[in-house]
Amino acid sequence: MCTAMDSAVEIDLSGTIFKTKRLTLKAINGSYLSKLNDTVNKYYFDKDPTLFRHILNAHRDGTVHVPRDVCPMLFKKELLFWNIPLSLVAPCCWKYLYEAESDVETFKILLQEENKYDSTNKVDEAQVGIKQTMFAGDSMTDSEVIEDVNENQIGNKRTRASRVWLFLEEPGSSAAAKIWCFFYIFVVILSVVAYIIWLDPSVRVSQYLTKNPKVDALANQTIYEYMVYIFNEKVVLLASTDPHPALLCLDIFCVVFFILEALVHFSMCPDKRNYFLNAYHLLKIFLCISMIISTYFECRKDLLDEHDFRLGEIYHAFKSCYALRLLLIFRLHKIYNGLHIMVLSLRYSVKELLLLGFSFLIAVVVYGCLIFSAEIETDMFPSTQIAMWWSLITMTTIGYGDFYPTTTWGYVVGIVCAINGLIVLALPIAAIASTFSSLYSRNADFQKHMTEVRKQKQILCVEKETLMHCETFEIV
Ligand SMILES: [Zn+2]
């Protein structure tokens, strides 16, 4: 006896006929095929038969296997069309399917960055092109494309202010901007070198120079010995000498350069509110403030002498921020892709970094308290803070040796702490490194694709121009 479920169903996929039982089609609940009309026995679909074979197999088997000769994203689309849930994908094919998905995610991140870079240029046709070719599934409608091209035309009428902004902000925008960027980096390096040798005795001149060298040497010697007796050599050197005038000039030049650049940069910024959301810009502002304060103190050294240490400490705190100027080198990330990818992978590894910080903090506190209790009878760890300092230094495998365990339990804690440190450090770093490597390798593909898109855009532009020429000719 032949029931309705046993009856054969014929499905025509662009000419290729598949025959199966109706019962097979009902195997996946809610799928497109399971909902086919029971009274009809022949169906036609204008779809790829090679993909449909796997869809039908999924109904026979109850699990989905992704074909290796087809793009996983295309197959995913097919699954969505036939309404087969992704939860049925067999574990052997997870890697293949989800790897492709994360690749697409990575490309989306890279495209976002590229868009951000071009935001001052407005949307250009290259992006319109890449949007169409990369994410064909969710590509823009024609009207959106036209809108984008219109925006592009408005964007081309840039004001002078935005041109200056582009010159300062985007080193890749022109050759002059690139040269300016390298000059900026040169000044950054120069200023940091000037700061490093700032306290070197060979580039400092005495404040107490008299015309008679003998008296001078004697006076200096007496004052020097007396001062060293009260303070230490570094403080005395700082208080009794001034930097060489050439070094001072260089420093003033750097300070003026940085402040002027920051002022012009800020005043030309088209979006003042967003300016303050950028960490690099905030660093610039902070450095300018610290430079102004420390330069003021340098000009009014009498203030430092009168109010002895408190103001001196503030002055030195701001002065030591000069070394942070080296961070301004990260401006180069706009030219060098590798550096850019490094910054990007750090930004997208915030979760892992937080995990690292958090697990490290817990381990430091736990091992600190443990070693403190283990060494409670010795006088090696005077406080829990010192014990925590020891656990931090041990976990990072530095081990200064200023504090060390002396009891058996202390050694046990030391061993566990050191091994745990290796593990806690290694795990999140591996995750960050994998983000970096995936971004880096995908970026290489992305850049190649962008080159193709740009080529295509140039061809389109030439065609458009010829077309316009023809039209004007007709009008004439
Ligand atoms: Zn499989």
Instruction: Report how far ligand 1's centroid is from the alpha carbon of 59 (Å).
Output: 14
pLDDT at 274: 82
1.10.287.70, 1.25.40.10, 1.20.1250.20, 3.40.50.720: CATH of 350-466: 1.10.287.70
Residue with tokens 């002078």: 160
Query: How far apart are the CA of 326 and the centre of ligand 1, in A?
Result: 52
Distance between Cα 278 and ligand 1 center (Å): 45
Calculate how far, in angstroms, residue 24's C-alpha sits from the geometric centre of ligand 1. Answer: 20
- The DSSP call for residue 264 is H
What is the whole-number distance in angstroms between the Cα of residue 66 and the centre of ligand 1? Answer: 6
pLDDT > 90? residue 279: no
The closest alpha carbon to 114, from 453, 463, 446, belongs to 446
Q: How far is the centre of ligand 1, averaged over its atoms, from the C-alpha of 32 (Å)?
A: 22
Bin 17: left if φ > 0, else alpha if -120 < ψ < 50, else beta: beta
Which has the higher per-residue pLDDT, 413 or 474? 413
In the chain, where are the structural domains located? Answer: 8-98, 166-334, 350-466
Q: What's the confidence (pLDDT) of residue 472?
A: 61
| 96 CA to centre of ligand 1 in angstroms | 9
At residue 168, the pLDDT reads 84
Distance from C-alpha of 142 to C-alpha of 130, rounded to nearest angstrom: 14
Q: How far is the CA of 95 from the centre of ligand 1 (A)?
A: 10
Range 8-98: architecture per CATH: 2-Layer Sandwich (3.30)
pLDDT in tens, 357-387: 899 999 999 999 999 999 999 888 999 999 9
Gap from CA of 97 to ligand 1 centroid (Å): 10
Task: Quote the CA–CA distance of 469 and 467 in Å, as a whole number.
Answer: 5
Round to whole Å and give the CA distance between 247 and 412.
54
d(CA 48, ligand 1 centre) in Å: 20
CB atoms within 10 A of CB 328: 21
What's the pLDDT score for residue 143? 46
Q: What's the CA-to-centroid distance between 89 and ligand 1, angstroms?
A: 7
Average pLDDT, the chain: 81
Which has the closest alpha carbon to 427: 345, 360, 348, 346?
360
130-134, 217-221, 285-289, 364-368, range with greatest mean pLDDT: 364-368
**Rounded distance from Cα 27 to ligand 1 centre (Å):** 19
**CA–centroid distance, residue 72 to ligand 1 (Å):** 12
**Does position 241 have pLDDT exceeding 80, yes or no?**
no
- Cα–ligand 1 centroid distance for 68 (angstroms): 9
Specify the pLDDT at position 304: 66
* pLDDT value at 418 more than 90: yes
For ligand 1, an ion, list residues with CB under 5 A: 65, 90, 92-93
Residue 176 Cα to ligand 1 midpoint, Å, equals 55
pLDDT class of 158 with cuts at 50, 70, 90: low
* Alpha-carbon dihedral 88, 92, 94, 96, rounded to 10 degrees: -130
Helices 94-117 and 125-134: crossing angle, nearest 10°?
A: 170
Ligand 1: centre distance to CA 82 (Å): 18
Position 118 scores a pLDDT of: 60
pLDDT digits (tens, 9 = 90+) for 244-253: 888 888 888 9
Taking 70 as the threshold, does the pLDDT of residue 309 lie above it? no
Between the CA of 268 and the centroid of ligand 1 the distance, in Å, is 57
Task: Kindly give the distance from the C-alpha atom of residue 76 to the centroid of ligand 1, in angstroms, as a whole number.
Answer: 14
**Integer Cα distance of 102 and 109 in angstroms:** 11
Helix (H) or strand (E) holding 20: strand 16-21
Q: How confident is the model at residue 144 (pLDDT cuts 50, 70, 90)?
A: very low
C-alpha 54 to ligand 1 mean position (Å):
11
- Ligand 1 center to residue 94 CA distance, Å? 8
Residue 307 CA, ligand 1 centroid: distance in Å: 77
Q: How far is the CA of 88 from the centre of ligand 1 (A)?
A: 11
Distance between Cα 91 and ligand 1 center (Å): 7
Distance 51 CA to ligand 1 centre (A): 15
pLDDT in tens, 166-201: 888 888 778 888 899 899 999 999 988 888 887 787
The alpha carbon of 400 and the centre of ligand 1 are apart by a number of angstroms equal to 53
Q: 70 CA to middle of ligand 1, Å?
A: 13
CA of residue 83 to ligand 1 center, whole Å? 19
Dmax (CA) of the chain: 127
User: What are phi and psi for residue 245, nearest 5 degrees?
Assistant: -55, -35
Q: How far is the CA of 56 from the centre of ligand 1 (A)?
A: 15
CA of 43 from ligand 1 middle (Å) equals 28
Distance 269 CA to ligand 1 centre (A): 53
Domains 8-98 and 350-466 share a fold: no
> For the residues 224-238, what does the mean pLDDT come to?
70
